[in-house]
Amino acid sequence: MQKSNLVLSIMLWAVVALFILYPLSFLIIESFKIAETQTYGIKNYLDFFKDPYYLKTFGNTLFLSLLVLIVTTLVGLPLAYIISRYRLKGKVLFTALILLPIVLPAYAGAFALIVLFGKMGVINLLLTDWGIVSKPINFLYGLHGLVFVQSLHLLPFIVLSLSAGFTNIDPSLEEASEVEGANGFKRFFTITLPLATPNYLAGAVLVFLWPFTDWLTPLIFGQVDYLPSISYINIAYHFTDMHRKYMGIVSVVVSAVICVGLFLASKYWVERKKYTSLSKGTTLEGRIIQPGILLKVGSYVYMFLIALLVLLIPIVLGLSAFSRRWVLEPFPTYWTLENFKLIFIETPGLLKNSLLFSGTALLFGIIFGLPAAYLITRTHTPGKEALDFIITLMLAFPGIALGVSYLLAFWEGIPLATHWIIMPLSLFVRRLPYFLRMAHASYLQLDISLEEAAEVSGATKLYTFFTISLPLLLKGVFVGVVMFFIMAFQEISTAIFLYRGGWETLPIGIYLNWHRGMEFGIAGAMAFFMIVIIFILLLIVSKIGGGILGAAWGSSGGRY
């Protein structure tokens, strides 16, 4: 056991202890509190397991998670392959496009879809006007709608992680299999896909755990009996009913522990195999194939269809941003700039806060996440599994729970919550798994002997990291950075509980304007603005990042 690893481990644990364990302990302790007697015990947990309703909702949520994972994988797999392997124009633009749904807070995206697909939505009104249907078609309200919306939302996680995986594969491996006579499909399923497993798993866990925290979408689409909705309502709306709150925490803790446990078990099973490659290929953009004309057309059609689905949300938001009273009409009839006038005064401040908070959070994320990924994949430090477990747990923890515990922990005693730094800190903690998982997956594909060679040649650990590991890890890390930033940018449920006057972020602004009469347009304008900002940011990043981003996303324009 190297001393430096131990020191690193201790430092990471200190951060985890202060910013995750300490605040969450406030909540966890409450889950053992018995409301009637004001004593402590495991009664709440027994109640949870004895109550068939909780088990039923847990089962429902698990089922939903699996459905969403299957759908995103089936749709995302070809997409990721197209993006990372074929030489096509407009891939970077397209990859930036499919990120758009996750940019928005869940309710804004869901609401835009209701405007479009609802019973009195655009499609149904048009179909009725044209006399094609007499009664509105139910596109959304039901399990099918829920799966549709969540899959659309989560598709980028699968696509980005898989394409990072595909790009990372040494081209010589695929070429070798071709020389040996494996055709396209065989090569894909025996060489390409298995080698991308660690990356797929990283994306899959993000997708799989999402339905366990998304309490709002099921309710918006008229679905009851999902665990996150129950836990959220119990925690947020307990008012004076403490038992309700404790049971909410219990259900969060139990489902989080089970799900993350399941995930880590599958991860260790996967990691028994070796995914690393020594040569790291010849190009940073990985293997690029010039597709035949049929494949090319097919790929474009596929990309176009997905892009169309994805663009629906921004289009609806855009239309409502420039209009008012868009209701019971297929298209807006009352156009106005009033919405923008109203939000124009607020927005610059909100944008500034959003950028500052998620930018700072990103900085924390990188400073913490890279060493953490290193520690977990590269060392045998005791307790590294526990570290991984605790950080991943945050994926299954609802934002309000984190918000409440942060305020309880950092208002008195350690008065961090009086300083704006609490906002990036909480974003960092809540969104850390997104970065860690991607960095971790990239580490798995990097053969340790490359680092060892550097160290044998006399390089220090730090020097090795910056000259050998980091450049080779860049693809995965960059995808992680983008995911982390976007997820921090759109975070609302923790931020809304912690913000003080003057700290409002864009999502909070959208939320507050949501509660402004019936005018969807004002919130719509802000959401539209937010999408545009993120999109521009992505394009700027790809300009600065140039080859790196191109490589990370498998651009044909990679100039490395």
Partner 1 sequence: MWKKIFLVCMVATLLMLPGEVFAQREKVGWVGPVYKELSDSLMKGFKDFYKRTYGKEIEITFIRPGGWPVCVDKVRAWKGKPDADVFLGAGAPAFEVMDKEGLLVPYKPKDWDQIPAQWGGMKVKDERFIWTCFSPWIVTNLYNERVLRALQLPVPKTWQDLLNPIYRGYIVQTLPYASGTQHEVIEIILQSMGEKEGWAYQRYLAAQLDRFSTGSVDTTHMVSRGEVPIGIAQPQMNAMSARADGYPVRDLLPDKTILVPESVGLLKGAPNEANAKIFLDWLFSIEGQKYVLEGRYFPARKDIRFSALEKEGVAMAKHARDALGVDSFWDLKVGFINYDLDLATKRWDEVNRFYEYEIYRKWRELKSSLALIEEVEGEINTAKRRGRNVASAEAKIQEARRLFAYEGDYASARLTATEARQLLVSSR
Binding site for partner 1 (CB under 8 A): 53, 107, 111, 114-115, 118-120, 141, 216, 219-220, 222, 224-225, 233, 236-241, 244, 324-325, 327-328, 334, 352-353, 355-356, 359-360, 363, 400, 403-404, 407-408, 411-412, 418, 420, 496-497, 499-503, 512-520, 544-546, 548
As given in the structure block, the two tokens for residue 525 are 């304008």
Q: Which is nearer to partner 1, 383 or 471 (CB)?
A: 471
DSSP letters along 440-469, please? HHHHHHB-HHHHHHHHHTT--HHHHIIIII
Q: Which is nearer to partner 1, 32 or 503 (CB)?
A: 503
d(CA 13, CA 529): 39
Q: How far is the CB of 224 from partner 1 (least distance, A)?
A: 6
Reduced to 3 states, what is the DSSP secondary structure of residue 291? Answer: coil
Q: How far is the CB of 88 from partner 1 (least distance, A)?
A: 25
The amino acid at residue 5 is: N
Query: 486 near 435, Cβ under 8 Å?
Result: no
Helices vs. strands in the chain: H and E counts, helices first: 29, 4
Q: Which residues contact 13 (CB under 8 A, 6 or more apart)?
A: 383, 387
Q: Which is nearer to partner 1, 76 or 476 (CB)?
A: 476
Q: Which is nearer to partner 1, 1 or 224 (CB)?
A: 224
Closest CA to 307 of 143, 92, 485: 92
Q: Which residues contact 539 (CB under 8 A, 6 or more apart)?
A: 96
Q: Which is nearer to partner 1, 9 or 234 (CB)?
A: 234
Q: Which residues contact 421 (CB under 8 A, 6 or more apart)?
A: 360
Q: How far is the CB of 551 from partner 1 (least distance, A)?
A: 13
As given in the structure block, the two tokens for residue 229 are 């909705």
Q: Which is nearer to partner 1, 111 or 208 (CB)?
A: 111
Distances (CA, A) of 427 to 363, 491, 494, 500, 554: 11, 7, 8, 15, 29
Q: Which is nearer to partner 1, 57 or 73 (CB)?
A: 57
Q: For tokens 């927005």, name the residue.
A: 347
Q: What are phi and psi of 86, to 5 degrees?
A: -90, 145
Query: 553 near 92, Cβ under 8 Å?
Result: yes
β-partners of residue 33 are: 40
Q: How far is the CB of 548 from partner 1 (least distance, A)?
A: 8
Q: How far is the CB of 245 from partner 1 (least distance, A)?
A: 9
Q: How far is the CB of 107 from partner 1 (least distance, A)?
A: 8
Q: How far is the CB of 252 from partner 1 (least distance, A)?
A: 16
Q: Which is nearer to partner 1, 47 or 447 (CB)?
A: 47
Q: How far is the CB of 378 from partner 1 (least distance, A)?
A: 22
Q: Which is nearer to partner 1, 57 or 445 (CB)?
A: 57
Q: How far is the CB of 363 from partner 1 (least distance, A)?
A: 8
323 membership: H or E segment, kind and range:
strand 323-324
